[in-house]
Structures are given as structure tokens and as C-alpha cells.
């Protein structure tokens, strides 16, 4: 049996189950999807944006195998999330538009907004998803109403809010490799005006990858202990509401495990004899994250208007250390391997000091009739310190290099948007935002790992950037009938200059100038068959001017920020949800994303590890031209499918749930190389269970990556054909109780 056959068999098994017939008067219908994409609660059909939402059972299913936020990757059209750090520092791509930069001050064009607070630093973006009401993916520029740096889109996460009604749940699962999920929440009213909710999550996995190099500093790898908690207090007065939130996270585990020469030269296949549960490292692997945050979301009902104040504070400390060459020894210090190890590489990045403060004020009209509006101001202030370390695996892993960076970033914005009902069937919307962004950056090297070559310390290098911009959007919604809306939207997005200063091995600080994006979207959103089905379809074209890109590694073994003159993105997205019968619910999501860099003169250094480069040589020796290349981590095709069949049994319900996600091949870097092109990936999940007492209790068997796909999902362009692979197959048992 091939690995693709289990997908066919799983789908056919569900569709072959006889549909459970109910009385026509009780036919199942889809609930209305409410979103806050325009900072108001609205029916998704009324919002002129390409949106996909995930909520309820689907979130529980996708996260059942102990996955971090990357479980959303490929599960929503046009969304990819990857990381070379592991459970922290996720990198988001929407419609192929993202950033491969792995520096801790990296700027991303996709914004993560968690409970109305923008999470700017990449380490903050890894906060676990639990006790969540809904996740929304907003595709295309969203700069007029959200945070900062949103030319690609927004991933918006909303937690379950406190209420006067007592509610809660407890959930525990245990599976392969000691994978455990413990999650729960409890909340309710304290008195007629005050309520609260406390939520906790604990995820763990045992070490399951054996280090075969002896004597190595570590025998086992890939474990983690990830604890997160959130507390909320809601006060509701006659004309005033205040929601206070505090949250914390503590992660202790392994960084991403890199594997030396895991890619067979001349292809993108895994080398013969590859074993997912074995590596050969002489370096130390460690990862720690400690995160504290809080927010105050206040609102005053002033009658015809409502005033909102949203204050957020975040601080995070992190340390991540790994064996970058992915092997042991070196050719000049045998034994060495696997394969060719030209020189050793073991390094760490730390974030010892970080603070982010945000403040937003927003005045919103309250149902003024044909015209409604909102105006506001936003302030962002971030300070970070970054430590970079190098270690010598040939000398008891002692520290032999140290550099540090500091960055202060202040930004403010003024924004306004309005909505005008021209008629019963036509609504126009528009928004405008002025942004000012300033960065002050300093990098210095105190100890050089290349001292044996005569390279010494580097005096502080200072770079300051400042820019401002006006972003905007115009859109229209036209109602064909009560069930079907057409929409069109044009939007301009902006991302401020970025600075990259990894001076541990180099002396240069690079700067990428501001980028802007102009996006055109059009689509249809409709309810079908008396609300037994729902369809969303959108087409888009985006032109990015001066796109900020990261030239990773290469023969210079150094990261450099560059600007591409122009990049063009175009494609389509489909969302479908339907009851095929009262017992069988399916969802289907799909996207086609064509991305192309359009810059005839942009040349970068290619592979530093002996790969087969496919691009034309550049004007300078050791460079290649990347004009015409697709963006990294930008698959042309993403599809996802779920099917849930449930049938009454006894005093409860027996159900089967399967989910599948596919993405086509990707390039890992800006240049094209045979070895650094990831193969297409298809992963599936299966859940079989029984719930009773009106769904208050549930017991289920689950499996993730049930066909045990093994695919290289990322590379390290350093000194050999190093890569890392997807998550292993996980299966287990889960119990959940709700009240």
C-alpha cells in the first residue's frame, strides 16, 4: 500500500457510512460565522476581506498531538507557518508573503494579534493556543485597523471571554513518545457585574531522538515541557466595561534538531538509511522561553459613540542553543560525520531583556444609520537586547564567541475608517492610516570565534532608521440576494525599515528599506441549500514594491537584508463547508498562490554547502540572479479537507473525524537549488470517539500524521546539506469533560 492510499481509504470509509436521517424539520444547518475583522462583530458575509476562521472542535482536533501554533499551517488557505527554532519563533506566510529571517529582532509582514494585542517579536508569536473562541485569518493588507507591519495579513486569535454563566472544561490526552496535553478552564460570575476566567495548558513530550555520537554531550533530544496560563477579570457596568488579562508561559525543551547531510546530493530525497529517531551531534541542544504579558481593554458607552482603550504589555526572555552543522567533528579533526563536515558550528541566541508596550484609543460610532465610522490612535514601544554566542564542540563545547545587539523601536499611527450604506444592496467602506516608525540599533562583537584567524572584537556599529507612510483601503459589498454577497477591495500596506546585525561572524550591519504592497481582491460569499452549505471564493493580485528579503547563509555564511524591486503575487482561495447529510459535515479549503520576484539585477550568494544551484550566475563572482524565482516557503497549492460523521448511540454520539492538509513543493531559500527544494507534503489526522450527556463528556482515540510522512521541511544553508524534517506520527487517547 502506498502512503497516499490511506487518505483515499479514510475518506471512502466515512462517505460509505450510511447517512443518519432525521426529520426534515430538524435538518442540520450551519451557524452564522461572526468575525471582528473590521473591529466590529459582523457576519462574515458582510466583510469585504478574504477570511477563513477556525473554532471549536476543529481547533481541539488539530492541536491534539501536542503541536504548537504551527498546527494551523496548511489548515487555512494561503497560510504556511514554519520554524527553524522548533516550538518558538514561528514564521508566518500568507499568500507566499513572509520572512525567512531567523534573527530575534526580525520583522514579519504577517501580524499576530492575540486578544487585541499585537505580538511583534517573533518569540511572542509562539504563545500556545488554548481555551480559544476563534482564530481568524485575514488575507491581504490590514494596516488601517490593526497594529503595525501588516502588508501580508493578520492572524487573529481570540480567547474565550469571561461571562456570568459558570462554565469550564478539563482535557487530558496521552500518546506516543510520552506526548501529553493537559488543558482546562473555569469561569463564571462573582456578582452581577464581575466575572472571571482562568485557563491553563501544559504540553510535554519525552526525548525520542537518540544521539548516536559517543561520547556526546547529550544522549537524547526533542523533549519539551510547555506550560501556559491566562487569567481574565471582566467588569461590566451600565455604560462601562473593563477586561483585564494576564498571561504567562514557561517552555523548557529542545531546540530544532538539525541533521547533517540528510539530503541526498543531486536530489531532494532523504539519504538512504535515514532514521527519524537518530542523529549524531557533538553540540548541546537547549531551549528556554519565559513570557509574561497583560492587557487592559476598556470601553465607555457614550450613547451615540463608544470609546475604547486597549493597553498591552509583553516581556519575554529566551535562550536557544543548537548544533548548527548537524553532525560531529570536522574533516580536520576526525572522526567526523555524517558526511562532509568542513568545520564545526554550535551557536546560541538569547533574548535576556525585552519589553513591548502598546496603547490604542478608538472612538466608534454606534449604529448611526447609513454611515458608521471609527477613528483612533496607536502607539508602539519596544526595547530588546540580543545575545549571540558561539561554542567550540572540539573543546568541551566551551564558549568562544560573543556578540550583542540592542534595538529600540517606537511607532505611532493615526487612523480612520468609515462605512456607508448606499442602498439596501450596496455598502462602501474605506480606511486611512498614517504611520511613523523609528528604530535605533547598535551591534557589537566582544569576543570573536575567529580569533585564531586574527579577527578581533568589533566596536559598536550604530544604525538609525525612520520612515512614515500613508496606507489605505477601499472596498464594496454588493448583495445579489439574501444569501449571496459579492465584494471587491483594494488596499495598500506598509512595513517600516528592518535592520539585521548578526556580527558574531561578520562586520556588516544590513538595512532593508521600507516595503509597500498594493493588493486587489474580489470574491463571493454565499450560503447554499437553505444554509446547509457555505462557500467563499476570492481572487487576488498583489504587487509588492521594495520587498524586504533575507539572503540566508550562502558561501559567505552570513545573513543579509536586501530589497527586491518588485514582487508579484496572484491566485485564488476557496472555503467550503457543507452538511452532506444531517450526520456528515465536511469542510474544504484550497488556495493557488503564484509568486514571482521581478528584479533583473538582484544577486545574492548561493549555497555554502555544495548544493546544485539552478540560477544564472550574477555579475559578481560567487553570486546568482534570483529574478523570476518564487518566494521561499510559498507553495503554489495548499488544500485542506475535514469530514465529521456522527450518529446517535445509546445516550450519546459516536463520531469519526478526519482531517488532511496538502501543500505543494517549496523553495527553502531565495535562490533555487535541487537539494533545497522541499517536496510536496500531505499529512492527515484521524479521531474516533464517543461523547455523551449532551456533549459534556468525550473519549476519543486520535492520530496525527497517521501515514507517517517523512519530508524535509527546511534547510540550513551553512556548510553542508543540513536539513530538518516534519513532526513524527503521534497517536493516543484523550478525555474531555465540560460544564
Quick: pLDDT tens for 39-83: 778 888 889 999 999 988 898 899 888 889 999 999 999 999 999
Tell me, what's the pLDDT at 556? Answer: 57
Cβ pair 73, 82 in contact under 8 A: yes
Count of domains observed in the chain: 1
Q: Give bridge partners of residue 593 from the DSSP assignment.
A: 571
Q: For position 555, what pLDDT does the model report?
A: 56
* DSSP class of 622: T
pLDDT at 26: 63
pLDDT at site 375: 96
Nearest to 322 by CA among 735, 722, 733: 722
pLDDT attached to residue 583? 95
> Which stretches in the chain have pLDDT values below 70?
1-26, 37, 147, 553-557
- Tell me the DSSP string of 370-403: SEEEEEEEEEEEEEEEEEEEEEEGGGTTEEEEEE
pLDDT at 15: 41
Q: How many CB atoms lie within 10 A of CB 643?
A: 20
CATH code for the domain in which residue 600 is found: 2.40.170.20
Task: State which residues form the domain around 650.
Answer: 5-738
**Strand blocks (E) in 480-559:** 484-495, 498-500, 510-512, 515-528, 533-551
Cα–Cα distance for residue pair 641/646, rounded to 1 Å:
17
**pLDDT at res. 628:** 97
Amino acid at each position: 500500500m502506498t502512503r497516499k492510499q490511506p487518505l483515499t481509504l479514510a475518506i471512502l470509509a466515512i462517505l460509505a457510512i450510511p447517512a443518519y436521517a432525521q426529520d426534515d424539520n430538524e435538518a442540520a444547518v450551519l451557524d452564522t460565522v461572526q468575525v471582528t475583522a473590521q473591529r466590529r462583530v459582523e457576519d462574515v458575509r458582510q466583510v469585504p476581506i478574504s477570511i477563513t476562521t477556525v473554532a471549536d472542535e476543529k481547533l481541539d482536533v488539530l492541536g491534539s498531538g501536542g503541536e504548537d501554533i504551527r498546527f494551523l499551517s496548511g489548515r487555512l488557505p494561503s497560510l504556511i507557518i514554519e520554524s527553524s527554532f522548533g516550538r518558538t519563533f514561528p514564521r508566518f506566510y500568507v499568500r507566499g508573503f513572509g520572512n525567512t529571517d531567523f534573527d530575534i529582532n526580525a520583522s514579519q509582514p504577517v501580524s499576530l494579534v492575540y486578544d487585541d494585542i499585537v505580538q511583534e517579536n517573533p518569540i511572542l508569536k509562539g504563545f500556545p493556543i488554548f481555551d480559544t473562541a476563534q482564530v481568524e485569518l485575514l488575507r491581504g493588507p490590514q494596516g488601517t485597523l490593526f497594529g503595525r507591519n501588516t502588508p501580508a495579513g493578520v492572524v487573529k486569535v481570540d480567547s474565550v471571554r469571561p461571562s456570568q454563566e459558570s462554565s469550564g472544561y478539563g482535557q487530558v490526552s496521552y500518546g506516543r513518545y510520552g506526548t501529553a496535553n493537559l488543558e482546562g478552564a473555569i469561569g463564571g460570575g462573582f456578582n452581577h457585574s464581575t466575572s472571571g476566567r482562568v485557563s491553563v495548558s501544559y504540553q510535554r513530550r519525552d526525548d525520542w531522538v537518540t544521539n548516536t555520537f559517543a561520547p556526546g554531550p547529550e544522549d537524547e533530544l526533542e523533549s519539551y515541557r510547555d506550560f501556559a496560563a491566562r487569567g481574565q477579570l471582566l467588569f461590566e457596568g451600565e455604560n462601562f466595561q473593563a477586561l483585564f488579562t494576564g498571561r504567562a508561559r514557561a517552555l523548557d525543551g529542545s531546540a530544532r534538531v538539525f541533521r547533517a547531510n540528510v539530503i541526498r546530493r543531486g536530489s531532494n530525497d532523504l539519504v538512504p538509511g535515514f532514521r527519524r529517531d537518530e542523529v549524531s551531534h557533538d553540540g548541546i541542544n537547549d531551549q528556554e522561553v519565559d513570557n509574561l504579558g497583560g492587557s487592559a481593554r476598556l470601553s465607555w458607552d457614550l450613547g451615540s459613540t463608544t470609546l475604547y482603550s486597549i493597553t498591552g504589555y509583553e516581556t519575554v526572555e529566551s535562550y536557544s542553543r543548537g548544533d548548527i552543522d548537524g553532525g560531529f567533528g570536522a574533516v580536520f579533526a576526525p572522526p567526523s560525520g555524517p558526511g562532509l563536515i568542513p568545520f564545526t558550528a554550535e551557536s546560541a541566541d538569547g533574548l535576556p531583556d525585552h519589553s513591548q508596550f502598546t496603547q490604542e484609543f478608538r472612538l466608534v460610532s454606534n449604529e448611526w444609520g447609513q454611515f458608521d465610522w471609527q477613528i483612533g490612535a496607536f502607539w508602539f514601544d519596544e526595547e530588546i537586547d540580543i545575545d549571540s554566542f558561539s561554542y567550540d564542540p572540539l573543546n568541551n563545547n566551551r564558549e568562544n564567541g560573543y556578540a550583542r545587539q540592542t534595538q529600540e523601536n517606537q511607532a505611532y499611527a493615526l487612523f480612520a475608517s468609515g462605512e456607508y450604506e448606499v442602498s439596501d444592496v450596496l455598502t462602501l467602506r474605506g480606511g486611512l492610516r498614517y504611520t511613523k516608525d523609528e528604530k535605533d540599533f547598535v551591534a557589537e562583537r566582544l569576543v570573536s570565534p575567529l580569533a585564531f584567524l586574527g579577527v578581533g572584537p568589533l566596536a559598536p556599529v550604530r544604525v538609525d532608521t525612520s520612515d512614515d507612510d500613508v496606507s489605505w483601503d477601499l472596498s464594496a459589498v454588493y448583495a445579489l440576494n439574501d444569501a449571496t454577497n459579492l465584494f471587491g477591495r483594494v488596499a495598500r500596506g506598509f512595513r517600516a525599515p528592518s535592520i539585521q546585525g548578526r556580527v558574531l561572524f561578520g562586520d556588516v550591519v544590513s538595512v532593508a528599506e521600507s516595503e509597500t504592497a498594493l493588493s486587489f481582491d474580489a470574491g463571493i460569499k454565499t450560503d447554499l441549500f437553505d444554509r446547509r452549505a457555505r462557500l467563499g471564493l476570492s481572487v487576488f493580485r498583489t504587487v509588492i514594491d521594495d520587498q524586504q528579503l533575507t539572503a540566508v547563509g550562502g558561501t559567505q555564511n552570513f545573513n543579509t537584508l536586501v530589497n527586491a524591486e518588485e514582487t508579484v503575487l496572484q491566485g485564488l482561495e476557496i472555503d467550503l463547508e457543507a452538511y452532506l447529510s444531517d450526520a456528515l459535515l465536511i469542510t474544504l479549503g484550497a488556495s493557488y498562490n503564484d509568486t514571482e520576484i521581478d528584479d533583473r539585477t538582484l544577486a545574492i550568494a548561493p549555497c555554502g554547502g555544495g548544493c546544485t544551484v539552478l540560477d544564472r550566475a550574477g555579475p559578481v563572482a560567487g553570486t546568482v540572479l534570483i529574478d523570476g524565482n518564487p518566494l521561499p516557503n510559498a507553495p503554489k497549492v495548499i488544500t485542506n479537507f475535514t469530514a465529521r460523521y456522527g450518529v446517535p448511540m445509546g445516550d450519546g454520539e459516536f463520531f469519526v473525524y478526519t482531517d488532511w492538509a496538502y501543500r505543494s513543493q517549496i523553495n527553502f531559500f531565495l535562490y533555487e537549488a535541487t537539494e533545497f527544494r522541499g517536496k510536496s507534503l500531505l499529512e492527515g489526522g484521524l479521531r474516533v470517539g464517543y461523547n455523551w450527556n449532551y456533549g459534556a463528556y468525550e473519549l476519543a482515540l486520535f492520530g496525527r500524521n497517521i501515514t507517517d510522512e517523512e519530508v524535509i521541511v527546511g534547510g540550513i544553508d551553512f556548510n553542508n546539506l543540513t536539513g530538518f524534517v516534519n513532526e513524527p506520527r503521534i497517536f493516543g487517547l484523550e478525555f474531555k469533560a465540560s460544564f
